[in-house]
Amino acid sequence: MNVEYKIPVDYTREKKRVTVIGCGRWGSFLAWYSDQLGHKVTVYGIAGDPTYENFVMTRKNGYVKFPQSIELTSDIVRAVKNADVIIVSVPSQAFRNVMKELRAKTDTSGKYLVTCMKGVEISTGKRLSEIAIEFGMEPWQIAVWAGPGHVQEFVVGNPNCMVIDSYERTTIERIVEYFKSPLIRFYYGNDIIGTEIGAAAKNVMGIVAGVLDGMNLVTLKGALMARGSREVSRLIGKLGGNPLSAYGLCHLGDYETTLFSPHSHNRTWGENYVKGKKFELLAEGVHTARALSLLADKLGVDMPITSAVNTMILEKVPPRQIMEQLLERSLKEDI
């Protein structure tokens, strides 16, 4: 895919030095997008990693082409030293390793850290912002970028709405000002717990949607949208967040992108699973189902859909049997 869309120039925008850690599908888009906005962009990748080395050799992947204004480096110190904003887009289970490297080799004081992936750590049940705080980041430094959107749509100029959340309102406002454009309309988040959990959990629901597609049970997606959001809202509330966040852009607002789009990795993973095909690309919902199931069990929160996905994956229970078990559960109130 060749990128031809150009974001209109905003001469009033405050230009920043932006470092993107990770150069996969979303990370490469964020680098391209930040450059389009006029920021000075550096992309950090691991030397020897095929994705990074491909950019070094060709400066492009199947989604974007980097202009010469974007710097590529495998030196984390060089990448972070002068950055105002550090955007992280790596698999969620690798985020702790990123924070370890940042803590050991760089000085992140005074810099914003924006997480742009969706997940919960399996071993601890921690949200990504909690891991960042564990490694010395101040709450005001941390922002979460979530909500619907596919790279394939953005790069051809199809706009969408997303949400920025943080522990501090001032941080939200600044990150929005740095990255808003006609391509992405941002909303201000007001519940970082709900935003992180909701964004992570929608990938689990994406796997279920793919399973339904694979079994030709598409009509059940309506029930999935309603009941999936309901169980996620229970977990958010138990963790101290606002249950209504599950019905905002971070979760329910992202369902069209995740439950129906052919671009969704999680939906495709679920469909392929039913059909006995392998899906080699990253599907965060696989790990998130495990993490959220463990967290729900620990807190005593009923999350039958999430638990069913985890059981299907770990115990190799046939999808049809999982679906029958869900439909045979004892009757519940609708709300």
Q: Which of 16, 202, 275, 277 is catalytic?
A: 202
Q: Determine the pLDDT at residue 112.
A: 98
Per-residue pLDDT at 331: 79
Q: Do 143 and 292 share a structural domain?
A: no
State whether 40 and 183 are in the same domain.
Answer: yes
What's the CA gap between 59 and 66, in Å, rounded?
5
3 within some domain: no
Read off the pLDDT of residues 111-160 as tens digits, 9 standing for 90 and up. 999 999 999 999 999 999 999 999 999 999 999 999 999 999 999 999 99
Domains in the chain, number:
2
- Residues whose CB falls within 8 Å of the CB of residue 59, separated by 6 or more in sequence, listed in order: 65, 66, 68, 70, 72
Q: What is the CATH number of the domain that holds 234?
A: 1.10.1040.10
Predicted pLDDT at 4: 66
- Give the mean pLDDT of 61-81: 96
Report yes or no on 335 lying in a domain: no
The region of weakest confidence among 8-12, 68-72, 136-140, 328-332 is: 328-332
Q: Are residues 235 and 155 in the same domain?
A: no
Looking at the chain, the whole-number percentage of residues with pLDDT higher than 70 is: 99
Q: What six digits make up the tokens of 210?
A: 């793919």
What is the per-residue pLDDT for 75?
98
Write the DSSP assignment of 62-81 as a string of letters. Answer: SS-B--TTSEEES-HHHHHH
We report the CATH number of the domain holding residue 158 as 3.40.50.720
Q: Is the pTM of this model over 0.85?
A: yes
Say yes or no to pLDDT of 3 above 70. no
Q: Is 332 a catalytic residue?
A: no
Contact 246, 236 (CB under 8 A): yes
Q: Is 20 helix (H, G, I), strand (E, B) or coil?
A: strand
Confidence of residue 258 (pLDDT cuts 50, 70, 90): very high
Q: Indicate whether 54 pLDDT > 80.
A: yes
Under 8 Å between Cβ of 191 and 245: yes
Task: Give the pLDDT band of residue 189 (cuts 50, 70, 90).
Answer: very high
Among candidates 201, 326, 217, 315, which has minimal Cα distance to 271? 217
Together in a domain, 38 and 174: yes
pLDDT tens digits, one per residue of 88-109: 999 999 999 999 999 999 999 9
Q: What is the pLDDT of residue 2?
A: 55
Which alpha helices (DSSP H) does 110-220 contain, by range?
Answer: 128-134, 151-154, 169-179, 192-214
Nearest to 113 by CA among 72, 71, 73, 83: 83
Q: Are residues 25 and 147 in the same domain?
A: yes
Spatial separation of the C-alpha atoms in residues 46 and 70, rounded to whole Å: 16
Q: State the average pLDDT over residues 36-54.
A: 97
Using one digit for the tens of pLDDT, what is the confidence trace for 298-308? 999 999 999 99
**Does 7 fall in a domain?**
no
Total residues belonging to the chain: 335
